[in-house]
Amino acid sequence: MRYILPMVLILGTSMSAIPANAQSLQVLPLSDATNGTPPKLVDVGAKSAGLTFLSSVPLACTVVYGTTKEFGKIANDPNMGSLTTIDHNPVLGGLEPETKYYFRVQGIAANGKLYAGKIREFTTTAKAKGPAGLMALSASVMMVSSNYGGAENDQSWGANSALDGDPSTAWSSSGDGSGAFLVLDFGKKANIGAVDIWTRTMSDGTAQISTFTATDDAGKVHGPFTLPDASKSYRFELNATTKTLRIDAATSSGGNTGLVEILAYEKKG
């Protein structure tokens, strides 16, 4: 998940959203740029949904979505900068459980051609229950190796983005590669039973953490643990009584490594 934002031209719900001097531009069907294969929804949950497709021409892609056909929300392709790509993986975040949403996929090619898909719909799932015997822990960022662009923790790409429960945002380091790390502070001693980790990635294959370690405040190193891919969050069992937990990228594909989400669980009882 791959969750990095390009600068794109956003098509509105009517031609009035296009400047008057550009209203002669033709909006082509998205199928013309996807060989007739529509974008596929993946990992539809209670708070987010992923979307993936390959285009036959590089596009800067955006998705408009909302609870009505007037939309109101926007999700962009996961690429830093104003890059076009054929591999599209935007994430629709900020959703409500058990709610119907409408969406439309749109894109612009480097030659200025505009593409738009049909309005489609999906329904989010019920709010997921926590794992048996575990309770999600609140945490704050005590320390981080760096944030992309020198951002503060609470800004875009800042470390807090890995703790917000929204897979449409992500923490990105500033080129730390396998040296990326962040330190979580739980505010109390807790018996950590498991952690959920979701690595970010870029469309060029960089920025993906392959293995990581977790170090408790006694200095014990747990792991390394292997992250199979960047498509979702993976859970790893841990047995550490600690107030802080340092997560280090052990191996990676280099570049602006970071995390889409991280969540620690305390053993109940």
* SS3 label, residue 2: coil
Residue 186 host element (H or E): strand 181-199
**Among 10, 37, 16, 22, which Cα is nearest to 104's?**
10
pLDDT tops 70 at residue 5: no
In sequence order, what DSSP letters do the residues of 244-268 get, joined into one string? EEEEEEEEES-SS-EEEEEEEEEEP
CATH 2.60.120.260 domain residues, the chain? 134-267
Residue (of 80, 77, 112, 91) closest to 44 by Cα position? 91
134-149: string of b/e by CB count within 10 Å (b at 16+)?
beebebebeebbbbbe
> Residues with Cβ < 8 Å from 146, sequence gap 6 or more?
173, 174, 175, 176, 180
Tokens for 212, please give them.
């990581």
Q: State pLDDT tens for residues 13-62.
A: 333 344 444 455 789 999 999 988 899 998 898 888 989 999 999 999 99
pLDDT at 13 (0 to 100)? 36
Rounded-to-integer distance, Cα 71 and Cα 50, Å = 17
Q: Worst-scoring range by mean pLDDT, 18-27, 139-148, 160-169?
A: 18-27
Percentage with pLDDT > 70 across the chain: 88
Do 256 and 172 touch, CB atoms closer than 8 A? Answer: yes
Tell me what the pLDDT averaged over the chain comes to: 88
- Please tell me the pTM assigned to this model: 0.75
Helix, strand, coil in percent for the chain, rounding step 5: 5, 45, 45
CATH 2.40.50.140 assigned to 15-123: no
- Measure the CA dihedral 91/96/102/104, to 10°: -20
**Are 58 and 5 contacting, i.e. CB atoms less than 8 angstroms apart?**
no
134-267 under CATH 3.80.30.20, yes or no: no
Residues of the chain with CATH 2.60.40.10: 15-123
Contact at 8 Å (CB) between 65 and 90? Answer: no
Interstrand relation of 134-136 and 258-267 (parallel, antiparallel or unpaired): antiparallel
* Rounded Cα gap, residues 253 and 30, in angstroms: 32
Q: What is the mean pLDDT of residues 90-108?
A: 94
Give the model confidence (pLDDT) of 214-241 as tens digits. 999 999 999 999 999 998 899 999 999 9
